[in-house]
Amino acid sequence: MKFQIAVDIGGTQLRAACYSVGENRPRCIERIPTVHPSNSPYNRLEQLIQSVWPEDGAVESIAVAAPGPLDPYKGIIFEAPNIPDWVDLPLRSLLENRFQVPVALGNDANLAALGEWMFGAGRGHHHLVYLTISTGIGGGVIIDDRLLLGKHGLGAELGHVTVIPDGPLCGCGQRGHLEAISSGTGISNWVREQLNNGTASILENAVDVNAKIIADAARSGDPLSIAAFQRAGTYLGLAVTNFLHIFNPTIIVMGGGVSRSWDLFIETVRSTIHLNVMNPHFLSDLTITRAELSDDAGLMGALALARSQNESRR
């Protein structure tokens, strides 16, 4: 029996799972905190992989999803959130030396796109645009059944396109990016700004104003919170219209924590697209839908990477 091991490196959690070749349900899955005083994140990662290693068969490959920036061709992590020691870490060669099997590395949003295309909402599509909307906004694009990577594997940074020139500050340090407006952070920053300006809201005395709390307030009718999601949806709709003009895809898939508030922004997204698309041909055969893999997007994305790489090795 042959196995593939998928790993998802998050800022708070490391996950690993072992899959039989051809099976999409993990045979076993383990999760541990990324940072712990007992040992280094890299040692914890090795131990975690060891803990899912099958005793009754050979491992064909290991695939790892990690937050960018990273170089998927060279297998190097440039930086990792919450792991300050990981600067230019040659993760692929470290793991290949330790486990003696091929190791593949990919950006987690890119791999989530690959996972949705292979196992989730995008099955059967050849041209897919994926957005993960949470604290930040990440992207992944499938064109003609291939993942868009670009020269150094840095492509598909769909959260970092300008939607308001000189607009709000983005997590990347630039201004007016989609992420600065339509991410959870963008939504809560805007609400806090309106509250500071004296806008009336049931959130006036809230201790913590985050996207989840704003969503709850919107559902209970708070006009400021409703407006916050409509604003996020308008700029998301403008950006998605641009992605239609650029990629002419047949499906837009949205995942990430903020996509759980889908009902609060999707109508604004759709109407913005319909108002702004340059030509109705771009809407023919177009599906806009929620991601299916949710919490396991990283692992399933890594599994998709393992499968597509084994495919190309055969």
Asked if 44 and 13 count as a contact pair (C-beta separation under 8 A), the reply is no
Tell me how far, at minimum, the Cβ of 276 lies from its own copies, in Å. 6
Mark residues 17-56: x for contact with its own copies by CB under 8 A, - for none: ----------------------------------------
Q: How many residues bind its own copies (CB under 8 A)?
A: 47
For the bound state, the minimum distance from the C-beta of residue 238 to its own copies, rounded and expressed in Å, comes to: 5
By beta-carbon proximity to its own copies, the closer residue of 95 and 142 is 142
Contact with its own copies (CB under 8 A) among 42, 53, 99, 282: 282
Gap between the Cα atoms of 295 and 254, Å rounded = 13
Six token digits for residue 29: 């899955």
Binding of residue 161 to its own copies (CB under 8 A)? yes
The amino acid sitting at 292 is E
- What is the closest distance, in whole angstroms, from the C-beta atom of residue 111 to its own copies in the complex? 16
- Does 155 interact with its own copies (rule: CB under 8 A)? yes
Stretch that binds its own copies, among 11-19, 24-32, 52-60, 170-178 (CB under 8 A): 170-178
Q: How far apart are CA 260 and CA 3, in angstroms?
A: 33
207 touches its own copies (CB under 8 A): no
Q: According to the binding rule CB under 8 A, does residue 288 interact with its own copies?
A: no
Q: Which stretch binds its own copies (CB under 8 A): 2-10, 48-56, 148-156, 194-202?
A: 148-156
Q: Does 74 bind its own copies (CB under 8 A)?
A: no
Determine the interface stretch with its own copies among 98-106, 115-123, 164-172, 215-223 (rule: CB under 8 A): 164-172
Nearer to its own copies, 10 or 140 (CB): 140
Residue of 69, 81, 90, 102 interacting with its own copies (CB under 8 A)? 69
Shortest approach of its own copies to residue 176 CB, angstroms? 9
Whose tokens are 């959870």? That residue is: 184
Q: Should residue 289 be labelled a site residue for its own copies when binding is judged by CB under 8 A? A: no
94 binds its own copies (CB under 8 A): no
For the record, the structure tokens of 208 come out as 């913590």
Residues from 219 through 248 that contact its own copies (CB under 8 A): 235, 238, 241-242, 245-248
Which residue in 67, 72, 140, 153 binds its own copies (CB under 8 A)?
153
Reduced 3-state DSSP string for the chain? CEEEEEEEECCCEEEEEEEECCCCCCCEEEEEECCECCECHHHHHHHHHHHHCCCCCEEEEEEEEECCCEECCCCEECCCCCCCCCCCECHHHHHHHHHCCCEEEEEHHHHHHHHHHHHCCCCCCCCEEEEEECCCEEEEEEECCEECCCCCCCCCCHHHCECCCCCCECCCCCECEHHHHHCHHHHHHHHHHHHHCCCCCCCCCCCCCCHHHHHHHHHCCCHHHHHHHHHHHHHHHHHHHHHHHHHCCCEEEEECHHHHHHHHHHHHHHHHHHHHCCCHHHHCCCEEEECCCHHHHHHHHHHHHHHHHHHHHC
Interface residues with its own copies (CB under 8 A)? 69, 78, 126-127, 143-144, 146, 148-158, 160-165, 170, 172-174, 177, 235, 238, 241-242, 245-250, 276-279, 281-282, 284-285
